[in-house]
Amino acid sequence: MITTKKVVSKADYKAFVKFPFDIYKDSKYWVPPIISQELATFDTKKNPIFNDAEATLFLAYKDNKIVGRIAAIINWLEVKDQNIKKMRFGWFDFIDDQDVSKALLEEVYNIGKANSLVYTEGPVGFSNLDKVGVITEGFDTVGNMITWYNHPYYVNHYKAHGFSVEKKYSENRFPFENVKPEFFYKAQELIKRRYQLTALDLKKTSEVMPYVDQMFDLFNDSYASLSSFVAITDIQKEYFKKKFISFINPEYIKFVLDKDKKLVAFAVVMPRFASALKQMNGKLFPLGFLKLLKAKKESKDVMFYLIGVHPDYQNKGVHAVIFNEYYNTFTEKGIQTCYRTPELEDNEAIHKIWKHFDPEVYIRRCTFKKELH
């Protein structure tokens, strides 16, 4: 018999966060999250997303053993301001027993119906900066810290429970040697002169911080047209500053300013921490933090996390300026492989940006949707 339990106590939250460590313990490809960070994500006192969203977490039990988990999420900015009647769910993991996955999904359906929501979609997080999608291809590839990994049987469960594919995503990679400066060097010089643009060469985190608020504003402007986009609020900006900026080498953050010193484009690249995270096995202390610092300094693989261009400057070649800056930085650092985070397959604009580098799709993933009747 399968039973579900709402997560309430500290012990429950720890059990919720640690459950994947059980079902993926023999996986060569799963990358463990940092346990303390996962706990902070669900802490209503620490994560400002809870000013505009709510999450109810559930654990599933069979024979007194935890066999699954799910987070049922409502983003009220999305529901009320955008009139998108969506019940979100994420952090959805389970053993290969359809009674388990069904019992957890029933909890999501019940909350959605109680709040007069029309459909449910997942796996997704609270916002566009969270993890997204279930893997459909590429199970034999090591993941990274900002995506979920899953067993192949997950897809069968979604289909068995009446879900259909909603959004498709792809993850790409390419060797740095594919990046040829002749594709962008002359163009970026011309573009900088034509539009009076300046690229900042940042060496210290303290040099980055004065522009971070502008960066998040520009993120909101440049991604607003994408499906299911939910803007980042001012209080969330402060949270993300503390959560992400310290993980990022300042030289991996690129800003492009106009003649009035206003930010018109940005890009954020992170070292690929997968190997260090696997060694840490979820623990920052006593040695995990040092492993992260070592990877931050020495990793020869990088991950393009975000790129944003102001709508007034899109389709004007500003990406050439950004790529030129990264070419110089990556050459100096001896970077070998560039990875990209999940991108919507129907986002033609982003695919055109990367085409010159001959990228390889190595993971495909999707979200699933079901009407709530």
Q: What is the pLDDT of residues 72-107, one digit of tens each?
A: 999 999 999 889 999 999 999 999 999 999 999 999
Q: What is the pLDDT of residues 231-253, one digit of tens each?
A: 888 888 888 887 778 778 999 99
- Quote the CA–CA distance of 158 and 168 in Å, as a whole number: 15
Strand partners, 164: 369
Q: What is the pLDDT of residue 338?
A: 96
Q: What is the pLDDT of residue 81?
A: 87
The CA dihedral of 204, 209, 215, 216, to the nearest 10 degrees, is 130
| Cα 119 to Cα 69, 300, 311, 313, distances in angstroms | 20, 42, 31, 36
Q: What is the pLDDT of residue 348?
A: 80
**pTM attached to this predicted model:** 0.93
Q: Name the average pLDDT for the chain.
A: 93
Q: What is the pLDDT of residue 191?
A: 95
Q: What is the pLDDT of residue 170?
A: 96
Specify the DSSP element, H or E, that contains 267. strand 263-271
Q: What is the pLDDT of residues 110-159, one digit of tens each?
A: 999 999 999 999 999 998 778 999 999 999 999 888 899 999 999 999 99
CA-atom Rg of the chain in angstroms: 21
Instruction: Pick left, alpha or beta for residue 331 (phi over 0 → left; psi -120 to 50 → alpha; otherwise beta).
Output: alpha
All structural domains of the chain, each given as residue ranges with its CATH number in brackets, are 2-172 (3.40.630.30), 174-362 (3.40.630.30)
- Quote the CA–CA distance of 58 and 16 in Å, as a whole number: 8
| Cα 7 to Cα 69, 70, 73, 209, distances in angstroms | 10, 10, 13, 36
Q: What is the pLDDT of residue 347?
A: 81
Contact assessment for residue 65 and residue 18, using Cβ atoms and an 8 Å cutoff: no
Q: What is the pLDDT of residue 37?
A: 92
Contact assessment for residue 295 and residue 273, using Cβ atoms and an 8 Å cutoff: yes
Q: What is the pLDDT of residue 356?
A: 86
Tokens standing for residue 178: 């594919």
Q: Which portions of the chain are predicted below pLDDT 70? A: 226-228
